[in-house]
């Protein structure tokens, strides 16, 4: 794996800015990969062995994804919306899995680890660089049951929603009152007041050279 | 796992921890030690201590007794120059100085250690001068039985840089003293600085190889420094000329002597116009005139650290600020006061 400073620089560039979450995320990724014994997670021979479950959608998540190379679209990045600064690293080949939790006390310790800095963000960045892993993180050895339908690779299962006809992939359908439903039809949905509409220039495609009006 | 039993049913049972007795002004210590088998005559004594119930311990695989925890914690806290008796009393282990020297406490690591649930360590201030055998810290687990994992995590934090606590013997340095100022050099007034500086050096186990007087002339001050360096001095103290007057040229003389770094100004009173410089690793300490008047100044905070091998830079002088204001008590009790103990 590349040195910490280089990983942080590249991760911050990809994320858009350097922030304390980037430092924690890069370090969490480095520790996670070390624990599951993947020294080069983005390398071709290791990239398919790694799954990362992130439990927050914060800067830290971007840093972890950048360092490890896991991606939502590749199904190697799983977002578990727990609101916890934690992530679990799974080696699919060995089944070794460790959940790493960013400690709350590390936030309180910034003043003492970087007393010479005044500005909060700069202080946290420096302090999180200085803290040893033992202060920054707690680690749990865990078992993760990865279902076939959650693995990277081709779609393993497709079913039709019996109410709206939508194709639902990879076992995400809901069985309700004897019906197979997609999540929106089952009422487990983030949107409401659905109404199908048309929109301007709806016949545009990239093969048409005309510019679209802004 | 802890099982609670009535003390009246405890005869024949083995105590799982020390039981403390406190007789105000007279005694505080274990009335019964862990491992003691309770007999009939103990029951009344235990009840007088307010013990109507006792715990029986059946440790789970991932649990640890407070005494085992204290032993793990003490071992990881102890760095060079620290010793301890691996015999917890009331669940606590005390750590001691193995030699005379300067106590150093890794304050960030100590804070991080104490942020782990259910463990604690309390220490003397960092940079306290200690004699061999002096207690410098104590540690314990808070509950009687706890999970092993937090103890091991706290131990990892404590051991990160070879231990949070360490005692460093003071090096015996060969010291040259330079007293600057036309008024002393020309004999207008009698010097009173040299005896003060000499005593402070001798009290800390170093030697004074020579005292040189120089006028307010940067070239002659440089020459005095050069002479001490040629003489093999590995520490030079300079007094006078550290202030802001046009005649205060001591710093210019020090610069002329070829310093590799210089830090002027310390966040301590008395002693704001203090200076630390280095010539090829040899420390030069500039003592402002307050050293004549006050029994204790910033010099007393920094000199032991220099002798213990610490490199003093801007950060070290700046961090003196919190707690760096001497209360100027009618009767000075330093080091038993807050002066210089903020960081």
Judgement on whether residues A76 and A134 belong to the same structural domain of the protein: yes
Judgement on whether residues A129 and A174 belong to the same structural domain of the protein: no
Judgement on whether residues A133 and A161 belong to the same structural domain of the protein: no
| pLDDT given at position B8 | 87
Cα separations in angstroms, B113 against A189, B130, B150, B230:
45, 23, 10, 47
Collect all residues of chain B within an 8 Å Cβ-Cβ radius of residue A109.
Answer: 108, 111-112, 115
| pLDDT given at position B19 | 87
Return the residue of A nearest to B159 by Cα.
A134
Judgement on whether residues A105 and A174 belong to the same structural domain of the protein: no
Domain boundary among A93, A117, A148: A148
The predicted model gives A51-68 an average pLDDT of 96
CB contact under 8 A, B153 and A138: yes
CA distance B125 to chain A (A): 15
B174-318 CATH = 3.40.980.10
Report how many Cβ contacts below 8 Å link chain A to chain B: 35
Partners of residue B214 on adjacent β-strands: B180
Per-residue model confidence as pLDDT tens digits over A94-144 = 999 999 999 999 999 999 999 989 899 999 999 999 999 999 999 999 999
The answer to whether B164 and B112 have CB atoms below 8 angstroms apart is no
Judgement on whether residues A135 and A179 belong to the same structural domain of the protein: no
Collect all residues of chain A within an 8 Å Cβ-Cβ radius of residue B319.
Answer: 115-116
Judgement on whether residues A158 and A60 belong to the same structural domain of the protein: no
**φ, ψ (nearest 5 deg) of residue B285:** -120, 125
CATH number for the domain including A159? 3.30.60
- Distance between CA atoms of B325 and A22, rounded to whole angstroms? 39
Q: How many CA atoms lie within 13 A of A211 on its CB side?
A: 2
Is A201 part of any domain? no
Number of domains in chain A: 2
Collect all residues of chain A within an 8 Å Cβ-Cβ radius of residue B160.
Answer: 132, 134-135
CATH 1.10.10.10 fits B63-168, yes or no: no
Which residues in chain B are classed under CATH 3.90.105.10? 2-57
Per-residue model confidence as pLDDT tens digits over A24-35 = 999 999 999 999
Instruction: Tell me which of A123, A130, A132 to substitute to probe the interface with B (most B C-beta atoms closer than 10 Å).
Output: A132
- Distance between CA atoms of B280 and B92, rounded to whole angstroms? 46
Which residue in B108, B315, B319 is closest to A109 by CB distance? B108
Judgement on whether residues A87 and A179 belong to the same structural domain of the protein: no
Nearest to B113 by CA among B64, B67, B76: B76
- Distance between CA atoms of B185 and B191, rounded to whole angstroms? 9
Instruction: Tell me which of A128, A134, A138 to substitute to probe the interface with B (most B C-beta atoms closer than 10 Å).
Output: A134
- Distance between CA atoms of B111 and A175, rounded to whole angstroms? 52
Three-state DSSP at B216 gives coil
CATH 3.40.630.10 fits B2-57, yes or no: no
Q: In this structure, what is the dihedral angle of CA atoms A147, A151, A155, A159, given to the nearest 10 degrees?
A: 20
Segments forming the whole domain that contains residue A138: 4-148
> Which string of DSSP letters, residue by residue, matches A121-183?
HHHHHHHHHHS-HHHHEEEEE------GGGSSSS---EEE-TTT--EEETT--EEETTEEE-T
Residues of B with CB under 8 A from a CB of A: 107-109, 111-112, 115-116, 153, 156-157, 160, 315, 318-319, 343
CB contact under 8 A, B112 and A135: yes
| pLDDT given at position B343 | 65
> Which string of DSSP letters, residue by residue, matches B285-314?
EEEPTHHHH-SS-HHHHHHHHHHTTPPP-H
Is the pLDDT assigned to residue A214 strictly greater than 80?
Answer: no
Is A173 part of any domain? yes
> Between these two residues, A203 and A139, which has the higher pLDDT value?
A139
Which residues in chain B are classed under CATH 3.40.980.10? 174-318
Cα separations in angstroms, A120 against A110, A131, B204, B297:
9, 16, 41, 33
Q: How many CA atoms lie within 13 A of B51 on its CB side?
A: 23
CB contact under 8 A, A132 and B157: yes
| pLDDT given at position B24 | 86
| pLDDT given at position B9 | 87
Is A27 part of any domain? yes
Q: Is A146 on the interface with B (CB under 8 A)?
A: no
Judgement on whether residues A115 and A178 belong to the same structural domain of the protein: no
Collect all residues of chain B within an 8 Å Cβ-Cβ radius of residue A105.
Answer: 112, 115-116
Is A202 part of any domain? no
pTM for this predicted structure: 0.81
CATH number for the domain including A22? 3.30.1330.130
- Distance between CA atoms of B133 and B82, rounded to whole angstroms? 9
Judgement on whether residues A83 and A29 belong to the same structural domain of the protein: yes
Partners of residue A138 on adjacent β-strands: A101
Judgement on whether residues A159 and A101 belong to the same structural domain of the protein: no
- Distance between CA atoms of B266 and B322, rounded to whole angstroms? 12
CA distance A131 to chain B (A): 9
Q: How many CA atoms lie within 13 A of A124 on its CB side?
A: 14
A138-142, A151-155, A200-204: least confident range: A200-204
Burial profile A180-200: b = 16 or more Cβ within 10 angstroms, e = fewer: bbbebbbeeeeeeeeeeeeee
Is A199 part of any domain? no
Which residue in B111, B156, B160 is closest to A109 by CB distance? B111
User: pLDDT (tens digit, 0 to 9) for every residue of chain B, 343 residues total?
Assistant: 778 889 888 888 888 888 888 888 888 888 888 878 888 888 888 898 888 898 878 788 899 999 999 999 999 999 999 999 988 988 899 999 999 999 999 999 999 999 999 999 999 999 999 999 999 999 999 998 899 999 999 999 999 889 999 999 999 999 999 999 888 898 899 999 999 999 999 999 999 999 999 999 999 999 999 999 999 999 999 998 787 777 788 999 999 999 999 999 999 999 999 999 999 999 999 999 888 889 999 999 999 999 999 999 999 999 999 999 999 999 999 999 999 987 6
The answer to whether A81 and A39 have CB atoms below 8 angstroms apart is no
Judgement on whether residues A116 and A169 belong to the same structural domain of the protein: no
Is A118 part of any domain? yes
The predicted model gives A185-189 an average pLDDT of 90
Q: Of chain A residues 86-125, which have a CB less than 8 A from chain B?
A: 103, 105, 108-109, 112-113, 115-116
| pLDDT given at position B256 | 93
| pLDDT given at position A171 | 94
Collect all residues of chain A within an 8 Å Cβ-Cβ radius of residue B153.
Answer: 134, 138
Is A18 part of any domain? yes
Is A196 part of any domain? no
CA distance B321 to chain A (A): 12
The answer to whether B250 and B260 have CB atoms below 8 angstroms apart is no
Judgement on whether residues A70 and A175 belong to the same structural domain of the protein: no
Q: In this structure, what is the dihedral angle of CA atoms A65, A68, A74, A76, given to the nearest 10 degrees?
A: -90
């Amino acid at each position: 794996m590349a040195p910490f400073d280089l990983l942080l620089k590249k991760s911050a560039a990809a994320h858009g800015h350097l922030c304390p979450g980037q430092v924690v995320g890069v370090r969490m990724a480095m520790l996670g990969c070390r624990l599951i014994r993947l020294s080069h997670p983005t390398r071709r021979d290791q990239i398919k062995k790694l799954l990362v479950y992130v439990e927050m959608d914060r800067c830290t998540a971007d840093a972890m994804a950048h360092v490890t190379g896991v991606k939502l679209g590749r199904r190697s990045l799983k977002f578990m919306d727990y609101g916890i600064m934690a992530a679990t690293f799974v080696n699919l080949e060995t089944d070794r899995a460790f959940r790493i939790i960013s400690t709350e006390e590390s936030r309180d310790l910034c003043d003492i680890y970087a007393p010479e800095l005044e500005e909060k963000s700069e202080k946290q960045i420096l302090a999180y660089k200085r803290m040893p892993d033992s202060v920054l993180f707690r680690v749990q050895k865990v078992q993760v049951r990865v279902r076939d339908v959650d693995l990277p690779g081709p779609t393993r299962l497709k079913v039709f929603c019996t109410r709206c006809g939508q194709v639902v992939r990879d076992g995400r359908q809901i069985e309700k009152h004897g019906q197979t439903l997609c999540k929106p039809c089952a009422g487990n949905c983030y949107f409401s007041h659905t109404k199908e509409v048309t929109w301007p220039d709806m016949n545009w495609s990239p093969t048409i050279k005309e510019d679209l009006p802004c | 796992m802890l099982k609670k039993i009535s003390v009246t049913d405890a005869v024949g049972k083995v105590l799982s921890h020390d039981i403390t007795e406190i007789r105000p002004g007279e005694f505080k210590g274990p009335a019964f030690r862990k491992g003691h088998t309770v007999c009939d005559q103990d029951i009344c004594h235990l009840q007088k201590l307010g013990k109507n119930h006792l715990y029986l311990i059946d440790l789970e695989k991932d649990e640890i007794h407070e005494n085992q925890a204290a032993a793990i914690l003490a071992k990881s806290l102890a760095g060079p120059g620290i010793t301890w008796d691996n015999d917890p009393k009331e669940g606590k282990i005390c750590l001691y100085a193995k030699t005379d020297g300067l106590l150093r406490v890794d304050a960030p690591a100590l804070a991080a250690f104490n942020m782990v649930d259910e463990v604690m360590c309390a220490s003397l201030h960092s940079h306290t001068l200690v004699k061999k055998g002096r207690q410098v810290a104590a540690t314990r687990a808070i509950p009687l039985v706890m999970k092993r994992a937090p103890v091991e995590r706290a131990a990892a934090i404590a051991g990160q840089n070879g231990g949070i606590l360490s005692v460093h013997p003071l090096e015996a340095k060969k010291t040259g003293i330079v007293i600057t100022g036309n008024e002393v050099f020309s004999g207008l007034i009698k010097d009173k600085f040299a005896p003060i500086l000499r005593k402070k050096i001798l009290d800390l186990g170093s030697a004074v190889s020579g005292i040189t007087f120089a006028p307010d002339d940067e070239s002659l001050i440089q020459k005095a420094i050069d002479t001490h360096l040629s003489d093999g001095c590995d520490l030079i103290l300079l007094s006078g000329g550290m202030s802001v007057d046009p005649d205060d040229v001591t710093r210019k003389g020090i610069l002329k002597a070829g310093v590799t770094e210089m830090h002027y100004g310390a966040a301590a009173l008395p002693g704001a116009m203090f200076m630390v410089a280095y010539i090829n690793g040899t420390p030069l300490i500039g003592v402002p005139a307050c050293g004549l008047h006050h029994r204790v100044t910033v010099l007393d905070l920094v000199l032991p650290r220099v002798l213990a091998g610490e490199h003093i830079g801007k950060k070290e002088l700046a961090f003196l600020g919190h707690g760096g204001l001497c209360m100027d008590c009618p009767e000075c009790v330093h080091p038993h006061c807050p002066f210089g103990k903020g960081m």
